[in-house]
Chain A
Amino acid sequence: MHYGHLKMEKYRITINSSPQPLLRMDDHPRIRFSLALLILVLVVTFLAPRSFAQDWIRTGTGLGVEKIRLAAADFQPSTQDPKNTDLLKIFNDTLSNDLDNAGIFDMVSKSFHPTQVPGNPSQVRFEAWNGPPPNAAMLAFGDLGVTGNNVLVHGWLYDVKNVGSPQVLGKQYTDVATTDAARLIAHKFADEIIFRLGGGVPGIAESKIFFVSDRTGHKEIWAMDYDGSNQHQVTHLGTISLSPRISPDGTRLTLSSLTKTGWELVMFSLDLNRAVSFPRMGGTNLSPAWSPDGTRIAFSSSRAGESNIYSADQSGSNLHRLTSDRGPDVGPTFNRKTGAQIAFVSGRTGLPQIYTMEADGTNAQRVTDQGYAVSPNWSPNGQFLALSWFRKYGPGAPGANDIYIMDIASKQWVQMTHDGGRNDFPCWSPDGRHIVFQSSRSGTEQIWTMLADGTKVQQLTFSGRNSQPNWSWK
Chain B
Amino acid sequence: MAADTDIFLEHGNLGRPLAMSVGLHLALAGIIVLFGVILPARRGAMWGAGGGGDAIGVSLVSTIPLPASSIQTQNVVANESKGLSQSQPQEKHEEPDAIPIPDKATKTKPKPVTSASKAKPKPEPEEETNEVPFGQGGPVSGPYGTFSAAGAKGGFGFQGGGGDFGSAYAWYVRVVQQKVSENWLKYEVDPSIHQANRVYVVFDINRSGQPTNVQIEQSSGVPSLDQSAVRAIQRIDTFGPLPPQYAGNKVTVEFWFDYKR
Contact = CB atoms under 8 A, between A and B. Distances in A.
Contact of B7 (A6, A167, A196): A6
Interface stretch (A247-255, A269-277, A279-287, A367-375): A367-375
Contact of A59 (B140, B158, B171): B158
Interface string A149-184: 000000000010110110110000000000000000
A412 B67 contact: no
Interface in B219-258: 237-241, 243, 245-246, 248, 251-258
A208 B164 CA distance: 41
A411 B176 contact: no
Task: Find the residue from A7, A199, A414 having the highest chain B CB count within 10 A.
Answer: A199
Given A168-B243, A431-B65, A197 B161 contact: no
Contacts of A413: 55-58, 61
A220 B174 CA distance: 45
Contacts of A367: 53, 55
A395 interface: no
Interface in B147-201: 147-149, 151-168, 170-171, 173-181, 184-185, 187, 198
Given A7-B6, A57-B173, A60-B256, A432 B64 contact: yes
A261 to B, nearest CB: 33
A53 B163 contact: yes
Interface in A9-41: 9
Interface stretch (B31-39, B90-98, B103-111, B119-127): B119-127
Interface in B15-57: 48-57
A60 B173 contact: no
B13 interface: yes
A201 B65 contact: yes
B3 A64 contact: no
Interface in A375-412: 379, 381, 383-384, 405-407, 410-412
Given A53-B116, A55-B163, A407 B53 contact: no
B99 interface: no
B212 interface: no
A199 B182 CA distance: 11
B245 A196 contact: no
Contacts, number: 276
Contacts of B151: 62
A5 B62 contact: no
Contacts of A69: 134
Contacts of B63: 381, 383
Nearest to B53: A366
A54 B252 contact: yes
Contact of A365 (B49, B173, B181): B49
Nearest to A434: B66
Interface string A177-203: 000000000000000000111111100
Contacts of A7: 3-6
A86 interface: no
Given A55-B163, A56-B163, A135 B133 contact: yes
Given A56-B114, A57-B251, A453-B144, A68 B171 contact: yes
- Is the interface on chain A under 10, 10 to 19, 20 to 34, or 35 or more residues? 35 or more
A104 B184 contact: no
Contact of B60 (A9, A164, A412, A455): A412
Contact of B67 (A57, A104, A200, A201): A104
Interface in A399-446: 405-407, 410-414, 431-433
B122 to A, nearest CB: 10
Contacts of A201: 65, 240
A135 B132 CA distance: 11
A363 interface: yes
Contact of A411 (B54, B159, B240): B54
Contacts of B74: none
17 contacts: A3-B12, A50-B120, A54-B115, A55-B165, A57-B162, A58-B253, A59-B256, A61-B181, A66-B67, A200-B209, A200-B238, A367-B53, A410-B187, A413-B57, A433-B66, A453-B64, A453-B143
The 6 lowest CB-CB distance pairs between A and B, nearest first, are A56-B162, A200-B240, A369-B52, A55-B163, A60-B256, A64-B152
Interface of B: 1, 3-8, 10, 12-13, 48-71, 78, 80, 114-116, 118-121, 123-124, 126, 129, 133-135, 140, 142-144, 147-149, 151-168, 170-171, 173-181, 184-185, 187, 198, 209, 237-241, 243, 245-246, 248, 251-258
Given A56-B163, A379-B64, 15 more contacts: A2-B13, A9-B4, A58-B254, A59-B159, A61-B257, A65-B156, A135-B78, A198-B240, A365-B48, A366-B50, A369-B54, A406-B55, A412-B187, A451-B66, A453-B64
